Amino acid sequence: MLNLLNKLLSISRFYKQIIIIFCDIFLLIFSILASFSIRLGYLYWPQNDLIMVVFGAPLFAIPIFISFGLYRDIIRFIGLQALWKVSKAVFLYSLLWSLICFIYITSSQFANVQGIPRSVIVLNILLSLLMVAGFRVFGRWILTKCLNLLTSFISKNVIIYGAGEAGRQLSHSLVETNEFNLVGFLDDDVSIQKNSINGKNIYSRLEFSELIHNLNITEVFLALPSLSINIRREIIDFLEPFSVHVRSLPSMLDLVRGNIRISDLNEIGIDDLLGRDKVIANNELLNLNILNKVVLVTGAGGSIGSELCRQIILLKPKTLILYELSEFALYQIDKELNNGNFGKVVIFPILGSVNNQKRLSQVFTKFNVDTIYHAAAYKHVPIVEFNNTEGITNNILGTYNCALAAIESSVETFVLISTDKAVRPTNTMGATKRFAELILQSLADHQDNLNLNFNQKISNHTQLSSKTRFMMVRFGNVLGSSGSVIPLFMEQIKSGGPVTVTHGEMQRYFMTISEAVQLVIQAGSMGIGGDVFVLDMGKPMSILALAKKMIRLSGLEVKSQDNPNGDIEIIFSGLRPGEKLYEELLIGKNVSNTENPMIMRAKEKMLPLIELEAIINELKVAINNNEIDTMRKLLIKAVPEFKPQTDIKDILFKDCDSK
């Protein structure tokens, strides 16, 4: 049976059109004969020249049908628009047939032709429409049934959560695919439960457990684009124990421009896993440092830097400068931004290192930069742990170079992208980021102490020509950045596991990269100089719980001692060098609120610029001599909270810079 269905469905499009044309010819002739038979009260067969009137009708009907495009429509997907075309084509044909009948009857050449009752003409119009349109509707029904029979053996049974407009559109799209077999809808609205959409029942959440067993449901499609994040997460938490593959439509904002398609379905998004509603952005704060200004982003090709560029360009700066060390990364972000429609924003891709202060000053001065977002940094904890000299050079000296060049070039605003790993750091990366914060705090304090007397010099080589506002924005893990845990888990689950978790008790703060960048831009507009802003990351999440949730929402089960027949095993790889079980966002408790409830202002200890610069000069010497032991001591001197977990001897042997 399945082989027969497959053969019928695999017939070429040309032969299918020929079959439909012959069916239409038969139906048109049958409609005329039926019209006569109904009117006369007996089975009618034409005599004499009337045979030409009856059997010649398809000769001009088929060309009309072809011109209306009736044979270009695919019967399986025929809808109201196609049926409207059928109606117009049949009506035009019927009028033409009626005219020919009148000509035949009144012509002396056809004296033997008996009169044609007017009611036959009316009946023919109705029957032709019923036959031609009904044939197509019936054909769609038959083909759909056959396909359902065929796909019931090979497709996945799915249920749509949400019987609203999005759910209805998605159900129409499911008809067009053989991959999924829609078995019904779930909805929490009691008023529509026990009703149906396109013959598919709408069930309540309480029936879901029984439905999975009875209907063998393997996937759930969330068609709830307008619900809040909290409600979506509550629904996801409800679905998680059932080990069904959950996929979701994008937000309503992404759907308003077009119809919903199967291809729009995504894996459960990062926002759903975080389960936190976003705070509406303050447009005034977003525009303050960007609108009609010259903006530069260091590390523009990185995960955070590129997202900064994407959001900045939407805020219509006069000029956006992409400063990046990696040629390929710079090419990618430059190409992406230039392919977008961003009006008159001028984009300059600049290759350069943050360790080249002379080039930085030249770029800042040439383009008269107003705002800098400093995102260039080495941030992968184990890599920096075993490459101390490069980590210190890039994260500390690079920030110092950028800051001095900004002051020298009269840049108005300088925003450093920092990290929660800078708080009581246990690794070199965190210590270097805290050191970078201290640099900006000291420079800001030094400018204040000069009382705007900009003729004095810093370190005898940089003259203050304006007051640059320095701000730091500190936040935790951003999902979607390079090295983020969720893409890693997704890749491991897709490949069949195992999923690697460093430690069963590890917890991390998480925020989406787009949300973090938006808050960074707003925070940079609030600072007066030397401010340390901390983003509200919500509650920390258990990495182990996150891994289990993602496995279950992929329609799989966690393999463990209690469930040896599960699909994906979770293994613990152990803490990597310098990693902490728990991250923190604040060093002290001196915190105040800001205009945005998601942004806090922290007051933290700092070092005088003279002391800090002395340490920087010693670091330069240690770097040149590759004295890693000295580098560590200097880091601890500047950042007393630094409690390294990696033995310096291990680094001496493993450091890529040690020979």
Whose CA is closest to 548, among 597, 492, 605, 478? 492
And the tokens for 394?
């890039």
Whose CA is closest to 600, among 279, 376, 229, 375? 279
Q: Are 634 and 619 in contact (CB under 8 A)?
A: yes
In the block, which residue shows the tokens 């880091």? 635
Whose CA is closest to 53, among 101, 99, 125? 101
- Cα atoms found within 13 Å of the Cα of residue 356, Cβ hemisphere only: 13
Q: How far is residue 517's CA from residue 586's CA, in Å, rounded to a whole number?
A: 19
Active site residues: 421
Q: Are 407 and 332 in contact (CB under 8 A)?
A: no
Q: How far is residue 231's CA from residue 248's CA, in Å, rounded to a whole number?
A: 14
Contacts of 418 (CB under 8 A, 6+ apart): 433, 436, 437, 472, 473, 474, 475, 532
Whose CA is closest to 623, among 394, 408, 331? 394
One-letter identity of residue 135: F
Q: Are 319 and 370 in contact (CB under 8 A)?
A: no
CA distances from 278 to 106, 274, 281, 514, 516 (A): 79, 11, 9, 11, 11
Whose CA is closest to 290, among 412, 472, 376, 399? 412
Q: Are 337 and 313 in contact (CB under 8 A)?
A: yes
In the block, which residue shows the tokens 């601890």? 636
And the tokens for 221?
């499609």
